[in-house]
Structure 1
C-alpha cells in the first residue's frame, strides 16, 4: 500500500472561504450565473462577495468589478459561470491575482469531445501555471454548511438548504448531487459538505474523499461515482477514510454494459470493469449501495456511530411470519441468525413460556401485557445471546398511545442493561411524532423489515472493515519479468511462474518423435502430450493434446498425431515441440488469472475452472498484491466453495495450498504490473487432503 496522500491546504480555503468572487455574476437570481450569488446572500455567507461583470456597476445590490484582477483583496475562491470561450481568461486572471481555487460551472469541455478536450487541457495548464486548484469544469459547484458557503447553482436549494450535520456528499454528477441535497433536506438529514466534481480536470472525487475523511465534522461520506481515472489515488482515499473510521457509501453506476458506456460519455471518465470496482470497494471497506434510498438510509444510520464487528443478528418479533422474512433478508445481507445458546434459551423460556426462544425470538403480543418483560427479554437476547445487533419487529404497537412511550422506555432499558453499546434497529408503523420519539432516543426506525436488516448488514460491513489493519506490506518476493517477445509459449510461461512459486508437474519439451518417446519412458507411463506454441492457446480444439499414453509405441503415435493435427489446422504456426508430462492426479479444477485493469492495475481472478469457467462465471476478483488471509477470503466468496470443502462424501481439498498460489500470483502480478498484460492458470488442479495444487497450463501475455 502506498503512503496516504496529504490533503492540499487550498481545499480548506475552498470549503471555508472568507471571500469569494463570482465571475459572470448575473443580476437575475434565477439564471445559472445568478444563482450562486443569490444563495450566498440568502443563506448567510458571512464573507465578502465580489461580483465580476464588466457590463454592470452593481449585481444583485453588490458593487461589481470588471475582472478578477480588480477586487481590492485576493478572493479565496472564484466561481466561474461564463461561456467556455471566456473561462480560460478567467482562470488566467485568477492565477495572476493569487486566487487559491476556482469552481468552474461552465460546460463545453472534455464532456463535449472534439475541441472541448483541447480546451480542457489548456484549462489544466493555466490552473497549474497560476497555482489555482480547479473544481469542474461542467460541475454544479459545492457548499459548506459550517461557513454558510453555498457556491452552487443547483435549484434544489430554492426551497431551503439541508440542515448542518455529519454527512458529506461527493458526486461526479451535478444533477444527482442536487437530488441528494433535496432528499436530505426532506428527510432532515444533516449535510456539512457537498461537492460536485464534474469533469474532474483537477480535483477529483478521490481527493475530495481524502480531504473529507480527515474532517472532524464529517461522520460519513456518500459518493456518486461514474468512473475513476486515477485508481491508486482512489484506493488511497478509501484507505484514508477507513483509517479515520469514516464510512464511505458509494453509488457506482455503469454496472451494465450500456450504463458503463453512458457513464464514460457523461463525465469523460474511464470506467473499469464493474467487478473490479466491487473488488476495490470490498478491499477498502466502502459499501456499494444499489439505490438512492439505500444510500441515504445507510448514510443516515452511520450517524448513530454503532458499527458491529460481529455479524450475529438477534431478531425479536411479535409476528412469526415477519421473523421468517427477516431471516431471509439476513442471509441476503451477510448476517448470521444463529440460535441463542441453550442456557440463554432456557432463561428466556422461563421468562416467556409462550415464546419461541431460538432465533428469531417470537414473543407474541402477550409480552405487551408487562413492559418489564419486554426489557428483560431484550437484555437476555443481547447479553446472553451474544448478538451485537438486534432487529425488533413491533408491528403497529408504538402507534397506540397506551403503549408508545412505555414501550420505548422498556426497549431502552433492555438495551442499556445489556451494555448499551449494541445496535438496536426497530421495524414499526406509527405516526411521525411517535417515530420521532424513538429516533430521538437513539433507535434506527424503519417501516420495511428488509430495509431494517439491510442497514444492519451495512453497518456490520463497516464495523468489520474498521478492524482491518491498513498500511501493512505483503510479505514475500517475486521474480522480475522482462519480456522480449509476444505471448509466451506454455513451456516458457511455466518456467517464469514456477520461479514465482506456482507448482507444476515435472515436464520435458521434446522437439522430435524420438525425444518424445525417450522423455515418456524416463517420466514413466502413463503420460500426457500437448503441443507447445506461443501461437496456440486452445490446444484441445485442434487435436493438440493426447492423454493417458501407456507405452512407447503409443507415445510415438501420439507425437505424430499431434503434429499432423496442428499442421492441418495451423500450418504456419511456429512450433517449439511437444510437452511430455506425467498424468496429473485427480482433483478439483479451478482457474487463476490476472488482468491489468486500465484504472486499478493488476487484478487477480479466481473461480472454478476448466472448460466450464466461461459458462458458470463463478469467479471473484481481488486487487494485487494480497496475502494468504485475503486469498482464503477470496476462495470462500465463490458460490462453488462447498465443492472445495467436499460434498456428498468427498474429502476436503487442499484450500491452503490454493491460497498460497493465489498470494504468490498476486505478488508476481504486482511486481510486474508494467510488463504483464494478463496471465492464466487454467486449470489449476486442487488435490484432496494435503495433496497440494498443480497448475496444468499457463499463459502469459506480456505488456510492451
Structure 2
C-alpha cells in the first residue's frame, strides 16, 4: 500500500459532472451493434439518459439518428464525459483532443496498457502525462466503465447494463478493480435481490482511483454502504481518510481484498498491472479506518443485505434461539470469533423463559428448544416474543432447520411480527427450508440465510 499522498488530488472528489453529466460523447462510436463502441450508445438510450449524446467517429455522418462528429473538438456544445472505445495506440491522441476541448472526464474502455507489457506501459505513461498536464480526469484504461442508475449514466459496454434495473434506491455503491469479475458480482447481487446504485470499475487507474470515488461517496446522502473489490490501494493516506469519513457518517465500507498468496499477487499484476502489498499492512489500515474485510463474495453480499434491510445491530450483544444444542454451540463460536458477545439472560427475560420452557431445557444463551419445538406448538412463538423484547441484547439469531411447517405455528409470520415490533434485528439461519420460506422473509425485510 502506497501511503504517499498523490500530487493530483485537487478537485477529484467533486465528481458530480462524472455521475450526472449533462452531455456524453462516445469516441469510437459505431453503428454496428456487435462493436463495443455501439454498446454505450444503446445503453444510454434504453436506460433513459436525458442529456446530450454525441457520437464521435470520422467514418459516419449519423449513428442511430444522432449527428456524428469527427473529433471531440468538432462537437458544437460542451462535453462533461467522454467514453473512449479505440485501439490502445489511438487513445492518447483522443485524450489530448478531449483535454483541448475542455472535457471534464473520460472513461477509457481500451485494454493493452500497463497490463500488457512494456509497450502498453509506455502508452499508459502517456495517459498519465495528459492527466497531469490538463484538467481532464480519466477512469481507466482497461475498465468496464461506470454506472449511476439515478441519472441513467451508463458508461459501460457490459451487457448487464443494457437495460435499467427493475429496482433502484438500495443506496449501495460498488467499486471494483476488476471489470468482468465486478460485473459477475453485480449480476449475482441482482439474483439475490440487491441492486447496486453505483457500479465503478477503476481499471488500471492511470488517473482516477479507488480513493477518489470513496471520498466522493462518503459525502453522498443516498449512499448507505460501499462495497469494494480490491487488488491494491495506490494512495493509502487518502484511502484511509476517506474510509474514516465513511465510518464517522455511519456508512459501512465492506471490502474483499485479494493478494494473500503469491499466486494471487501475480494474477493481479497480469490483470491490471497492479502490485499488491503486505497483507498485514492492509489488515491494520482496514481496522484503523473501520473497513470490514471479508473473504468471500457471498459474505460481502450478505452483509450488504443486512444494510439494505436495516438489520445492522446497534451493539455486540447477541441472543441465540435454536432447536439444536450442537447448532447453538456452533453459532456461539461464530459470534465470539466475530467479536460479538453472547450474554446470559437475566431478570425478567430469564424468568419468562423459565415459565414456558420444559423443565429439562435451560433458560441460558443460547436457548435450546430441543425437540419440544415440534411438539409444544406455541413454544417457538412465545420464546421469540420474549427474546425480541429483551433490552439486554442487540440482535437475535434464530437457528433451526427442516420444514418450518412442522413447528406448528406460522414461522415466517411469527418472525415478521416479532421483527416489526422489536427495536433489534432478527436474523434467521434456517437450514433446508423450502424456497418460499426465504422469499417470504426477505420480502418482509427479514434477513434469512440457508
Shift of 1:2: 12
Contact 2:107 2:139 in 1 (8 A): yes
Shift of 1:369: 7.0
RMSD: 2.7
Please name the residue that 2:27 is paired with.
23
Please name the residue that 2:326 is paired with.
321
Contact 2:311 2:447 in 1 (8 A): no
Please name the residue that 1:423 is paired with.
425
The number of aligned residues is 442
Shift of the 230–63 alpha-carbon distance from structure 1 to 2, 3 Å rule, reads same
Contact 1:337 1:359 in 2 (8 A): yes
Please name the residue that 2:66 is paired with.
62
Please name the residue that 1:446 is paired with.
449
Cα distance between partner residues in 1 of 2:196 and 2:63: 29
Please name the residue that 1:178 is paired with.
183
1:393 paired residue among 389, 399, 409: 399
SS in 1 for 2:125: helix
Matches within 5 A, 1:105-504: 105-157=109-161, 161=165, 163-164=167-168, 165-341=170-346, 344-354=349-359, 355-364=361-370, 366-367=372-373, 374-384=380-390, 386-399=392-405, 403-404=409-410, 407-415=411-419, 420-428=422-430, 429-447=432-450
Cα distance between partner residues in 2 of 1:215 and 1:368: 49
1:506-535 deviation line (CA, Å, top 9, x unaligned)? xxxxxxxxxxxxxxxxxxxxxxxxxxxxxx
Cα distance between partner residues in 2 of 1:348 and 1:7: 59
Contact 2:73 2:101 in 1 (8 A): yes
1:534-586 deviation line (CA, Å, top 9, x unaligned)? xxxxxxxxxxxxxxxxxxxxxxxxxxxxxxxxxxxxxxxxxxxxxxxxxxxxx
Contact 1:163 1:185 in 2 (8 A): no
Cα distance between partner residues in 2 of 1:167 and 1:370: 43
Check if 1:82 corresponds to 2:98: no
Please name the residue that 1:669 is paired with.
none
In structure 2, runs of 5+ residues without a counterpart are none
SS in 2 for 1:34: helix
Contact 1:35 1:153 in 2 (8 A): yes
Contact 2:143 2:204 in 1 (8 A): yes
Contact 1:10 1:133 in 2 (8 A): no
Could you state the TM-score of these two structures normalised by the residue count of structure 1? Answer: 0.59
Shift of 1:397: 4.6
Contact 1:83 1:106 in 2 (8 A): yes
Report which stretch shifted further, 338-347 or 187-196. 338-347
Matches within 5 A, 1:526-605: none
Please name the residue that 1:513 is paired with.
none
Cα distance between partner residues in 2 of 1:13 and 1:68: 17
Contact 1:137 1:201 in 2 (8 A): yes
SS in 1 for 2:74: coil
Shift of the 44–415 alpha-carbon distance from structure 1 to 2, 3 Å rule, reads closer
Please name the residue that 1:587 is paired with.
none
Cα distance between partner residues in 1 of 2:386 and 2:355: 11
Cα distance between partner residues in 2 of 1:170 and 1:309: 26
SS in 1 for 2:70: coil
Shift of the 209–257 alpha-carbon distance from structure 1 to 2, 3 Å rule, reads same
Please name the residue that 1:490 is paired with.
none
Cα distance between partner residues in 1 of 2:435 and 2:346: 37
Shift of the 421–2 alpha-carbon distance from structure 1 to 2, 3 Å rule, reads farther
Shift of the 149–401 alpha-carbon distance from structure 1 to 2, 3 Å rule, reads farther
| Larger-Rg structure | 1
Shift of 1:74: 0.9
SS in 2 for 1:87: helix
Contact 2:13 2:213 in 1 (8 A): no
Cα distance between partner residues in 1 of 2:443 and 2:4: 42
Higher RCO (Cα < 8 Å, 6 or more apart): 2
